[in-house]
Homo-oligomer: A and B are copies of this chain.
Amino acid sequence: MIEANLDDQTGEGLGYVMAQLLDAGAFDVYFTPIQMKKNRPATKLSVLGDPQARESLTKIILVETSTVGVRYQTWQRTIMRRHFIEVQTTFGAVQLKVATYDDIEKKTPEYADCVRLAKQSQVPFMTVYQAALAAADQADKEC
């Protein structure tokens, strides 16, 4: 994880650097509101990425933000195995990510599919999302 505290960067500039880092292959980029000295509201930028990408991600941070340094550290991870399934709903087909670890299994409908079908059918996003979960649950029972 690479982190930097930013008190002399605008929100606009931070939105831009998030996009740059994701384009460059960062796994995840997130902001945390923090409070720095001299009554400054600030933002902590956190970037998760491949260790091989540390140098290139760091350079994007140094180029695009006002910080003069970053700190970094390796975290270990426990990651569930993932594969995808597809289910049929009233609104169309939706992919679900199936994540497994030991005897744990859970399914998450793909955001992009739900958004597309919700707009197509002019129904709420959550209606498609729930329909996909229900269809996946039904499929499980039928096996």
The answer to whether A34 touches B30 (Cβ under 8 A) is: yes
Copies of the polypeptide in the assembly? 6
Say if the beta carbon of A78 comes within 8 Å of chain B.
Answer: yes
Q: What is the CB-to-nearest-CB distance from A135 to chain B, in angstroms, rounded to a whole number? A: 9
Name the B residues within 8 Å of A111 (CB-CB).
Answer: 12, 38
**Contact residues, A6-40 vs B (CB, 8 A):** 6-19, 22, 28-40
Q: Chain A interface mostly helix, strand, loop or mixed?
A: mixed
Say if the beta carbon of A88 comes within 8 Å of chain B.
Answer: no
Could you tell me how many residues of chain A have their Cβ less than 8 Å away from some Cβ of chain B?
76
A contacts, CB < 8 Å to B? 1, 3, 5-19, 22, 28-44, 46, 48, 58-59, 62-64, 66, 68-73, 75-80, 82, 97, 99, 101-102, 104, 106, 108, 111, 115, 118, 124-126, 129-131, 133-134, 137-138
